[in-house]
Amino acid sequence: MGLSITFADSKLEPARIRDCVIDGTVRSFGLRSNRKSVLTADDGFFQFVALAKALTACEQRIGIDRLVSMNEDEQRSKYSKCASDLLK
């Protein structure tokens, strides 16, 4: 069982605390983004989490063995179509 604890300094503004908690929670589930700043409420974190959930479901649907045998362009195409279908 994994455990993650998210901390925010109580001296921060409430909006900044919310952003720290959002970022910590998203990261605790292993979701990573190529960014050096905190993921904020204004960044559309709900969409980020929905997309990550869809991509996880797509990986299961398509099958890891099949994905590994594809080149990068084929993988992108399959993931995009599958995620698009799931997020409709």
The per-residue pLDDT for 88 is 78
Instruction: Work out how many domains the chain is built from and give that number.
Output: 2
pLDDT of residue 74: 92
79-to-32, 57, 58, 67, 82 alpha-carbon distances in Å: 17, 10, 6, 9, 5
pTM of the model: 0.51
**Structural domain of 79:** 51-88
- What integer pLDDT is reported at residue 33 of this predicted model? 61
- Are 67 and 84 part of one and the same domain? yes
In a domain, 77, yes or no: yes
pLDDT at 69: 92
Give DSSP secondary structure letters for 55-75.
HHHHHHHH-HHHHHHS-HHHH
* Pair 37, 55 in one domain: no
| Same-domain check for residues 56 and 76 | yes
Where on the phi/psi map is residue 63: left (φ > 0), alpha (ψ -120 to 50), or beta? Answer: left
Whether residue 5 lies inside any domain: the answer is no
- In which residue are the tokens 């190529």 written? 34
Residue 2 forms part of a structural domain = no
- Residues of the chain with pLDDT below 70 are 1-4, 29-41, 44-45
To 5 degrees, how large is the angle CA 31–CA 5–CA 34? 25
